[in-house]
Amino acid sequence: MCASALGQSAELSSLEAALGYTFARPELLIRALTHRSQAYELAMESPGKAEESEPADNERLEFLGDAVLGLVVAESLYLRHPSWQEGELTRLRAQLVSRRNMAIVAQAIGLGDHLLLGKGEDRSGGRRKSAILANAMEAVIAAMYLDGGKSAGTDGALQPVREFARKHILGQAADELARELRSGAALGDHKSALQEYLQATHAGLPVYLVESESGPDHRKRFHVELRLRDADGEVGESLASGMGRTKKKAEQEAARRTLELLTGRSTTEEPVES
């Protein structure tokens, strides 16, 4: 075994120790760690080979990992909180699987040190970028799922992910979030709930636009429309609108109606100012 292979093997072993899982097919883990910038550089070095094979980056695994993680977290919350209703479970799941939280988990296990980045991305601080870390974390989760299911069946495939989630995602932080929800501190904050939902579904960013104001100063009424800005910065059509005595209350109402539209669920809590 050459020196570079020995070094890579040692690095993978270190990461596997942090994950609490040893891969039978380490090539899956390598794929999960490969950012598109690195895959592009490799493709430029061997263009003919790249055209004949599956893309070498981790984006397909990221897609699968997002779904697997959502299932495992939903399963755990369903079992741990039997008295909770769908809305409460959805709120907590959205926070736990959000890209922000996935980046935090990735940082906690030192995932950035193991990423395979292109030279330019590495120089620009890619190992510390939240989006890259979150995407890689989801890809690694997918790799664990695929590797664990090679001979164990679907349920066995989920077990490595369950154990990782139990240790790194569903621990004390999840319990604190649950207590916050049950205490009512976070209930009714529709803007936060919408933000969490949009982050979890990668649907875009909310944009609140004041369309009109009416009434005298002591009895103002604000009309706010809510739209979504996509990854390219484009702002779409109005999804919902809200009226209120202040801009914040109008925004809360617009967020509540947007949540109902996107999730198909009725939201009954009174909005609160944020």
Residues forming the active site: 66, 138
Structure confidence at residue 175 (pLDDT): 79
d(CA 260, CA 23): 42
Architecture of domain 190-263: 2-Layer Sandwich (3.30)
Percent of the chain with pLDDT over 90: 49
pLDDT in the model for residue 261 = 87
Question: In this predicted structure, what is the pLDDT of residue 45?
Answer: 67
Nearest to 141 by CA among 66, 200, 199: 66
What values do phi and psi take at 214, rounded to 5?
-145, 160
- Decide whether 3-180 matches 190-263 in CATH topology: no
What per-residue confidence (pLDDT) applies to 153? Answer: 53
Q: What is the pLDDT of residue 150?
A: 59
List beta partners, residue 210. 224
Which of 1-5, 27-31, 68-72 comes out lowest in average pLDDT?
A: 1-5
Residue 190 near residue 267, CB atoms below 8 Å: yes
pLDDT for the residue numbered 15: 94
DSSP β-bridge partners for residue 143: none
CATH code of the domain made up of 3-180: 1.10.1520.10
Reported pTM: 0.65
Residue 152: its pLDDT value, please?
A: 52
Q: What is the model's pLDDT at position 42?
A: 73
187 pLDDT higher than 50: no
Question: What pLDDT score was predicted for residue 240?
Answer: 94
- Banded pLDDT at 154 (limits 50, 70, 90): low
pLDDT value, residue 181: 64
Give the residue with greater pLDDT, 262 vs 144. Answer: 144
- Specify which of 31-35, 146-150, 153-157 reaches the highest per-range mean pLDDT: 31-35
By mean pLDDT, which of 63-67, 110-114, 142-146, 228-232 is the weakest?
Answer: 228-232
The CA-atom distances, in angstroms, between 7 and each of 4, 111, 196 are 5, 16, 40
Average pLDDT over residues 209-222: 89
Domain ranges of the chain: 3-180, 190-263
Residue 259 has pLDDT above 80, yes or no: yes
What mean pLDDT is predicted for residues 82-106? Answer: 86
Q: What average pLDDT does this structure show over 160-175?
A: 88
Closest-CA residue to 163 (of 56, 4, 21, 10): 21
